[in-house]
Amino acid sequence: MNLLTGEYNNTIDEKGRVSFPVKLRTAVNQNVLMVTKGLDRCLWLFTTDEWEAFQGKLMSNASMMKSKSLGVLRHFVAPAQPVEFDKNGRLSIPQSLREYANLSKDCVVLGIAKYMELWDSQTYKDYLAESEDSFRDAAEEFNDINF
């Protein structure tokens, strides 16, 4: 798999299908992705290999006897579903996940190195506006990155 990067404005049709950007589809180089709830009301999409690695890390660090661990597993692992590209390069996003992310017609697909995010366009704009101040503080925590 190639590095997944880029921000793509797109649309979802009335059947919940999103045309996936060709650049990301080519980089993924497989016909099935895993989709699940992400943070901040977006969806996360993984290749099957990256999903197995992510899910494995979650499961190995979680305890079924701790409520916080169960909450994390129920949020990320339980709703995960495989979605397959159709012949037109579209993914059909399950309704429960579309509802979680408030996906309407306009959406944004983000490539973030090893996974992708799918956002409702307005939700993403609101998130960017609300997080601008905290972004600088968070960036300053990456003090070991030098050029």
4-142: CATH number: 3.40.1550.20
How much is the average pLDDT of 103-124? Answer: 95
Total length of the chain = 147
How much is the average pLDDT of 26-33? Answer: 90
Beta strand 43-47 with 115-120 is antiparallel
Proportion of the chain above pLDDT 90, given as a percent: 60
What residues have CB less than 8 Å from 11, skipping those under 6 apart? 18, 19, 105, 106, 107
How much is the average pLDDT of 38-49? Answer: 95
Half-sphere exposure of 82 (CA within 13 A, CB side): 10
pLDDT above 80: residue 22: yes
What was the pLDDT predicted at 16?
93
CB count within 10 Å of CB 53 equals 13
How much is the average pLDDT of 54-69? Answer: 87
